[in-house]
Amino acid sequence: MSTYRINMADERLIGQIVDPETLVQRVPRMEEFFKGVEDMRAALAQEADGKGRYTKTSGWWKGSRTMQYVGTTPISVRAAIREIDPGFWEDPVKVVRFYDLHPEYKVKSVVS
C-alpha cells in the first residue's frame, strides 16, 4: 500500500488555486461567497459559549457543548484540490492545515 504525502509543490499549487483575490477576479460571484463566510463567522461567534477549554476557539454551542464546523469551501474548489491530491479531504491533518493556512474559508473564530 502506498502512502501519498503532500509536497511543497502541491501545497503551493493549492495556495494559488484557493487565493481569494485570484478567485474573485476569475469568478466574480465568489465575492458573495467570501462575504457569506464572514457573515457566518460573525453569527457563529455570537452563538458560541465563550471559548473551548483546550482550543481557546469559539467552537462550542451554548448549553450543548457540541462542536461547530471549522470551515466551508465551494464544491469547485474542493474538486480542484481533489485533482491535485485525491485523498486530501479524507486526511484531517491536511484539512486542518488548509484552514489554518487559508483563514478566509474558516467560520470559527479565535476568542481572546
- Are 31 and 85 in contact by the 8 Å Cβ rule? The answer is no
* Residue 50, pLDDT score: 55
Q: What percent of the chain has pLDDT over 90?
A: 9
Cell numbers linked to 64: 450543548
**pLDDT tens track for 7-29:** 556 788 888 888 889 889 988 99
- Report how far apart the first and last C-alpha atoms of the chain are (Å, whole number): 44
CA–CA distance, 48 with 108 (Å, rounded to integer):
9
pTM: 0.68
